[in-house]
């Protein structure tokens, strides 16, 4: 079979990604471990690691002595050569973090929004990223990840729907790429959280998971064998606009009625207080039927989704304004009751608290992840097994 044009460069890209991924998973690591994990020859690994060291993507750490011969120098990911930016866009501000290859946050900046008009948001995001990057001019910015609440088509670069922003079918990726002149990856809050968990928690490698985000809006991320399942046009995990319970006529920002969003999101809870003539505000200290109803709906919906997909583990991540015991504890209790008479045990359940920095860092990790993976399907005509490729 004739290799396509550029196949040598493609092979090198795949091999470098393989090496970086082994270092990420086992850092710090000896070159012999990289050989064993990748199937590449010792000479190929030596050549690749030399290039990556020269580029600052890898760094040598203290030597360790083996059973005999010279001490081996361990390899770790570099910290200064490249950075990725992550942005959490809300209806009030753009929160930016810069992360290095190890996933460490090295800088942050918060820029208020003047409005939620896409043009204004784009200008604010570009300014915020530039200000955050100003102190790290020696590093290369490899891309910007942007997390937005709502339904996001990552492949198309379009925000399909965001109730908090009042957006429908906004081509935000194209707009931001033109403004900043750097690659942009767009994602939802919850998929950004999932990206962070998958990249830097090797206990989750290859696992089937569901991650739920509970805040101003609701979201779900479906992880199949360690990869986020996005569905058609990015619509997988359409948790917020499912229905649980009786019809009550509560209008949703999507145009429908009685979506879960109207009952269990911060937005929905606040609207229900307003409907009842009660002043909305902080949920701290509240333990009433509105909060109880939100927890009942949320716990039941999470259990229904889990029964359908059968994940090994579930993470329910509450934002700080939703992290109140009356809501979190009851949600967990309701979830577990749904399995009381089931034929299978419930998946492991973890309650977590996340904030703007978690979403922003997760968005940056979607960019970093591209450093550790290569599209092996595009290399089908030059190799059938990426782990066995050797450099040309």
Partner residues linked to 153 by β-bridges: 158
Q: Is the pLDDT of residue 383 over 60?
A: no
Q: Is the pLDDT of residue 378 over 50?
A: no
Q: Is the pLDDT of residue 297 over 80?
A: yes
What per-residue confidence (pLDDT) applies to 292? 96
Q: Rank 133-137, 156-160, 343-347 by mean pLDDT and report only the highest.
A: 156-160
Mean pLDDT score, 48-71: 81
CA distance linking residue 184 with residue 388, whole number of Å = 31
CA distance linking residue 155 with residue 159, whole number of Å = 11
CA distance linking residue 224 with residue 208, whole number of Å = 5
Q: Is the pLDDT of residue 199 over 70?
A: yes
Q: Is the pLDDT of residue 296 over 90?
A: yes
Q: Are strands 348-353 and 313-318 parallel, antiparallel or unpaired?
A: parallel
CA distance linking residue 335 with residue 180, whole number of Å = 44
Average pLDDT along the chain: 88
CA distance linking residue 125 with residue 146, whole number of Å = 9
What per-residue confidence (pLDDT) applies to 379? 34
What per-residue confidence (pLDDT) applies to 232? 83
What per-residue confidence (pLDDT) applies to 384? 32
Mean pLDDT score, 155-175: 95
What per-residue confidence (pLDDT) applies to 376? 43
Q: Is the pLDDT of residue 381 over 60?
A: no
What per-residue confidence (pLDDT) applies to 248? 80
Mean pLDDT score, 95-108: 95
Q: Is the pLDDT of residue 382 over 50?
A: no
End-to-end CA distance of the chain: give it in Å, rounded: 16
Name the pTM for this structure: 0.86
CA distance linking residue 90 with residue 77, whole number of Å = 32
Mean pLDDT score, 355-379: 81
Q: What are the phi and psi torsion angles at 159 (to 5°)?
A: -85, 105
Q: What is the pLDDT of residues 208-250, one digit of tens each?
A: 999 999 999 999 999 998 889 988 877 787 788 888 776 788 9
Q: Is the pLDDT of residue 389 over 80?
A: no
Q: Flag the least confident range among 9-18, 145-154, 177-186, 263-272.
A: 9-18
Residue 186's contacts (CB-CB under 8 Å, 6 or more residues apart) are 145, 146, 148, 152, 154, 157, 158, 159, 172, 173, 176
Residue 84's contacts (CB-CB under 8 Å, 6 or more residues apart) are 98, 99, 141, 142, 143, 144, 145, 364, 365, 367, 368
Q: Which residue did the predictor score with more confidence, 387 or 74?
A: 74
Q: Which residue did the predictor score with more confidence, 327 or 256?
A: 327
What per-residue confidence (pLDDT) applies to 203? 73
Q: What are the phi and psi torsion angles at 42 (to 5°)?
A: -55, -40
How many angstroms separate the most distant Cα atoms in the chain?
Answer: 78
CA distance linking residue 291 with residue 293, whole number of Å = 5
What per-residue confidence (pLDDT) applies to 64? 64
What per-residue confidence (pLDDT) applies to 196? 86
CA-closest candidate to residue 97, choices 88, 82, 112, 107: 107
Whether residue 195 contacts residue 187, with contact meaning beta carbons closer than 8 Å, is answered with yes
Mean pLDDT score, 133-152: 93
Q: Which domains does the chain have, with CATH numbers?
A: 7-78 (1.10.10.10), 82-195+359-370 (3.30.420.40), 204-354 (3.30.420.40)
Mean pLDDT score, 152-172: 94
What per-residue confidence (pLDDT) applies to 281? 87
What per-residue confidence (pLDDT) applies to 126? 97
Q: Is the pLDDT of residue 104 over 50?
A: yes
Mean pLDDT score, 47-73: 81
């Amino acid at each position: 079979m004739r290799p396509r044009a550029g196949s040598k460069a493609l092979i090198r890209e795949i091999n470098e990604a393989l090496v970086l991924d082994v270092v990420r998973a086992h850092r710090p690591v000896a070159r012999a471990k990289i050989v064993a994990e990748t199937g590449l020859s010792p000479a190929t690994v030596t050549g690749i690691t030399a290039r990556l060291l020269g580029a600052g993507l890898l760094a040598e750490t203290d030597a360790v002595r083996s059973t005999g011969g010279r001490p081996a120098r361990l390899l770790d990911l570099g910290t200064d050569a490249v950075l990725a930016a992550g942005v959490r866009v809300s209806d009030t501000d753009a929160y930016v973090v810069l992360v290095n290859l190890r996933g460490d946050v090295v800088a942050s900046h918060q820029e208020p929004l003047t409005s939620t008009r896409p043009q204004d948001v784009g200008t604010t995001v570009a300014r915020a990223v530039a200000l955050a990057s100003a102190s790290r001019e020696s590093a290369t910015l490899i891309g910007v990840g942007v997390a937005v609440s709502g339904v996001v088509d990552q492949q198309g670069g379009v925000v399909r729907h965001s109730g908090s922003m009042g957006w429908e079918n906004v081509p935000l990726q194209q707009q931001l790429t033109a403004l900043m002149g750097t690659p942009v990856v767009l994602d939802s809050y919850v998929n950004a959280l999932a990206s962070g968990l998958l990249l830097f928690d090797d206990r989750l490698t290859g696992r089937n998971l569901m991650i739920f985000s509970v805040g101003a809006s609701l979201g779900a991320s479906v992880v199949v064998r360690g990869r986020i399942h996005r569905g058609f046009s990015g619509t997988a995990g359409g948790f917020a606009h499912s229905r649980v319970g009786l019809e009550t006529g509560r209008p949703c920002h999507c145009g429908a009625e009685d979506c879960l969003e109207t009952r269990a999101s911060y937005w929905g809870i606040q609207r229900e207080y307003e409907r009842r003539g009660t002043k909305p505000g902080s949920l701290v200290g509240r333990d009433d039927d509105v909060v109880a109803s939100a927890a009942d709906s949320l716990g039941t919906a999470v259990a229904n989704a889990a029964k359908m997909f059968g994940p090994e583990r579930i993470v329910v991540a509450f934002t700080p304004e939703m992290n109140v015991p009356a809501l979190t504890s009851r949600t967990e209790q309701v979830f577990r009751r749904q399995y009381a008479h089931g034929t299978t045990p419930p998946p492991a359940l973890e309650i977590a608290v996340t904030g703007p920095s978690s979403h922003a860092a997760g968005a940056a990790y979607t960019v970093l992840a591209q450093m550790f993976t290569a599209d092996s399907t595009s290399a089908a005509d030059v190799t059938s097994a990426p782990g066995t490729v050797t450099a040309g």
